[in-house]
Amino acid sequence: MKITSFACFLKKPHHLSSGSGSSSSSGGGSGGSTISLASLGTSMCGLVSHSFHSLVYTINPFWIQLCYFISFSFLGLLILSLLETRPGSIRPKALDMYFMSVSATTVSSMSTVEMEVFSDAQLAVFTILMFLGGEVFVSILGLQFSKYKIKRSLLHNNEINNDHSKNIEVYVKENNVQEPSCLSYNRNNDASSLIDTSNDHLKYNSIRYLGYITLGYLLVVIVLGSTLVAIYTSLVPSASEVLHNKGLRLRTFSVFAIVSTFTNCGFIPTNENMIVFRKNSGLLLLLVPQILLGNTLYPTCLRLVIWMFGRLTRRVEFNYMLKHSEELGYAHLLPRIHSFFLLFTVLGFIFLQFILFCFMEWSSEVLDDGLMNPFQKIVAALFQVVNSRHAGESIVDLSTISSAILVLFVVMMLASLFLFSHIYILFSKIQLEKKNIYIYRT
């Protein structure tokens, strides 16, 4: 198919060869050029389509994602270099700019430059990079690739069925048989040549609706969270005073903080991260759900949203998503039992860390600085332990935390990386063995 595309692209249009002898009228020349441009555009579209088809089907998704992150990292570097930094600050080196761009795109939250160096325009670039590199958005792109593959498979199967139907019609005309005989002929002799595409259609529609749900989930959580943070910051004098002293705009801070928290990047447009907001318990409580909704509790919340849409709309696609989540190939849509285990595990780890952190640090200088009341201490401890396994934002100086708590944080970070994947693989093997036993018995 590639050779055909290049041949079509290089083929000389017929109207150019036939009309080369007559060029007396200017109208004919303009019409010929219009047809030539249309033919060239059609050839280019075909070439791009086949190239994209080859890209999706032949290249490993790892290389696609690698090129995706590298491309946006270099694009971020270019835009950040063109924009001016905040007045009065020293402009970072190109290597530091690139490191910050990569860190934002890969949501790793490592920094070599103080955040207050960057202007509002540069902070907006970081916000876009974090959004594009977030796990939820990248998974949505993966859904689009899966949808495209299924669509191509459906078109191919429909072409096979159409060709087979034409062969049956020819058989009917040549042998002068009636329609029932044709159906009998089709059912008894060539039933295996027809491809049932009903399940593929249902799977394609399910992935299409799943893409809408995940995108809506992403936008609703970010927009709602940014709005709530903006309202809180504008109404609480201590929070708005921090933004005023730092020279940060309310809208810039709200969107940046929510996108960074939801994508679990951990960037905050202040040099002290969230330490300057440690007494703003309302702001911390607004950010805690964002951390979980964009990370470990995303599969559980996504399944809950799909269940709610299924109850409201009664569409078969939502029921298919819930019962055949593994067939859709979307890693974040877990089976029901896995979602429950994930929920209980996350909450259990948070509770364990919270108890140990409060027991070890309640009377230390980390929390007991004489400026925080018991409620503020509880909220600050909850915010810190949730961030230890996810976003990386901090309301304390980590160098002042006891060694035992640091070891606990390290263990929990390792648990978040390996434990859930092993649990998922274990239960997948158990379900696969059950299916194999059922198929063997039947």
Instruction: Kindly report, residue by residue over 109-151, the tens digit of the pLDDT.
Output: 889 999 999 999 999 999 999 999 999 999 999 888 888 777 7
Q: Is residue 241 classed as helix, strand or coil in its secondary structure?
A: helix
Q: What pLDDT is attached to residue 425? A: 55
Does the structure show a pLDDT above 70 at 389?
A: yes
Higher per-residue confidence, 10 vs 350: 350
The average pLDDT across 314-329 equals 89
Contact between residue 203 and residue 328 where contact means Cβ atoms under 8 Å apart: yes
Q: What pLDDT is attached to residue 37? A: 65
| Confidence band for 19, pLDDT divided at 50, 70 and 90 | very low
Measured in whole angstroms, the distance separating CA 184 from the mean position of its chain's CA atoms is 49
CA distances (Å), origin 236, targets 256, 259, 278, 308: 19, 21, 13, 35
d(CA 309, CA 233): 33
| Confidence band for 2, pLDDT divided at 50, 70 and 90 | very low
The tokens for 136 are: 């939820």
Q: What are the tens digits of pLDDT across the range 139-190?
A: 999 888 888 777 776 665 555 555 555 555 554 455 554 444 444 444 444 4
The average pLDDT across 364-383 equals 86
DSSP secondary structure string for all residues of 92-132: PPHHHHHHHHHHHHTT----SS-GGGS-HHHHHHHHHHHHH
Q: What percent of the residues of the chain are helix, what percent strand, and what percent coil, each to the nearest 5?
A: 75, 0, 25
d(CA 418, CA 415): 5
Does the structure show a pLDDT above 60 at 197?
A: no
Tell whether the torsion through CA atoms of 15, 21, 22 and 23 is positive or negative.
Answer: positive
DSSP single-letter state for residue 275:
G
d(CA 146, CA 49): 16
Higher per-residue confidence, 265 vs 180: 265
Whole-number average pLDDT of the chain = 79
Q: What pLDDT is attached to residue 289? A: 95
The average pLDDT across 315-334 equals 89
Does the structure show a pLDDT above 70 at 9?
A: no
Helix segments in 177-335, DSSP class H: 179-188, 198-235, 237-246, 250-262, 281-293, 298-313, 316-323, 325-328
| Confidence band for 371, pLDDT divided at 50, 70 and 90 | confident
